[in-house]
Amino acid sequence: MKRLLWIKDYKEFWNIFNQERIKERKKLRSLSFRKKLEMMRIKIKTR
């Protein structure tokens, strides 16, 4: 994500941004259900 800060081209920015998002989502999907529940709990508590 760091490299996003240095990109000046609009198209390139969104291209990298989308790639990074996909990577991030894949990583989150591979977590155990227990870990996912833990992450969601914070959201319930902070509403």
Partner 1 sequence: MMEERVIRRLNRLIKTGVIKDYAIGGAHAVAYYLEPVKTLDVDIFIFAKSDQDFYVLRTYIKKSGFKIRGTHVIMDDIPVHFLPGSLHPFINEAVRRAKKIKVGGLPTKVLALEYLIVSLLMAFRLKDKMVIPDLLERADMEKLKTIIERFCDEETPLDQRLQRILEHI
Residues of this chain that interact with partner 1 (CB under 8 A) are 25, 28-29, 31, 33-34, 36-41, 43-45, 47
**Dihedral-angle region of residue 32 (phi above 0 means left; psi in -120 to 50 means alpha; beta otherwise):** beta
Report the residue number, 3 or 41, with the smaller CB distance to partner 1. Answer: 41
CA angle 6, 10, 14 (to 5 degrees): 85
CB of 20 to partner 1, least distance (A): 14
Q: How far is the CB of 23 from partner 1 (least distance, A)?
A: 12
Identity of the residue, 11 or 47, whose beta carbon is nearer to partner 1 in the bound complex: 47
- The answer to whether 17 touches 2, Cβ cutoff 8 Å, is no
